[in-house]
A and B are shown apart, each in its own frame.
Chain A
Amino acid sequence: SAVISQKPSRDICQRGTSLTIQCQVDSQVTMMFWYRQQPGQSLTLIATANQGSEATYESGFVIDKFPISRPNLTFSTLTVSNMSPEDSSIYLCSAGRVGEPETQYFGPGTRLLVL
């Protein structure tokens, strides 16, 4: 199975600041996604991270707030900008592995608390 790591695993931030979350996959993948899981809630897709082009955002999420980069096939970053307490959530990346069209693998998540 693909191994997905995220950095940092958790952080406590002050409002108004920004945090960049890194997602690294140990093998070549096709698609990469970023999800948010608010406290006690299910996962909500933020965007699809496209290699070499702008990410595709879901309704309610905008690039200025959640800029995403994917410079190569195995790495992506999500930035949470100008944070407020409402951004306190778990942020997860996921990926589809080459040769495994059915399975989406998820990272362990980054737990963010904004004060």
Chain B
Amino acid sequence: DAKTTQPPSMDCAEGRAANLPCNHSTISGNEYVYWYRQIHSQGPQYIIHGLKNNETNEMASLIITEDRKSSTLILPHATLRDTAVYYCIVSSPTGANSKLTFGKGITLSVRP
């Protein structure tokens, strides 16, 4: 079973920030939080990952609570191309070499 829970869907207006929540209350001390997204008819794409500090890259920001039981993926200026299913995954530090357990994800719809 997936170790994360996410709302099934959300939407936001183009140009606005999209804040995607994720609960991972059973995360263990050495597990990281990874975010992937799957645009329709494509394979999943890595977005960002973190352990306990907030992280930012060219795609998004990741905010992890101090107790590490939840996190939020932030797309600062959502575009129509950001419409996708976003998966929050808890995995080992070497996510590239680890089995990824995908939950149902959250479907983000960006409206014009």
Contact = CB atoms under 8 A, between A and B. Distances in A.
Given A30-B96, A44-B102, A45-B100, A104 B42 contact: no
A8 B34 CA distance: 29
Contacts of A35: 102
A45 B43 CA distance: 14
Interface string B72-95: 000000000000000100000111
Interface residues of chain B: helix, strand, loop or mixed (majority): loop
Interface residues of B, number: 24
B21 interface: no
Bin the interface of chain A by size: 20 to 34
Interface residues of chain A: helix, strand, loop or mixed (majority): strand
Interface string B29-55: 000101010000111111001000000
Contacts of A33: 99-100
Given A42-B103, A42-B104, A31 B97 contact: yes
B96 A97 contact: yes
Given A42-B104, A42-B105, A101 B42 contact: no
A101 B43 contact: no
Given A42-B102, A42-B103, A42-B105, A106 B97 contact: no
Q: Which of A35, A45, A92, A106 has the most CB of B within 10 A?
A: A106
Nearest to A108: B43
Contacts of B28: none
B95 A94 contact: no
Contacts of A92: 43-44
A103 B43 CA distance: 13
Interface string A90-115: 00101111001111111111000000
B46 A103 contact: yes
19 contacts: A4-B43, A30-B96, A31-B96, A33-B99, A35-B102, A42-B105, A43-B100, A58-B99, A92-B44, A94-B43, A96-B95, A102-B49, A102-B94, A102-B96, A104-B96, A105-B46, A106-B43, A106-B45, A108-B43
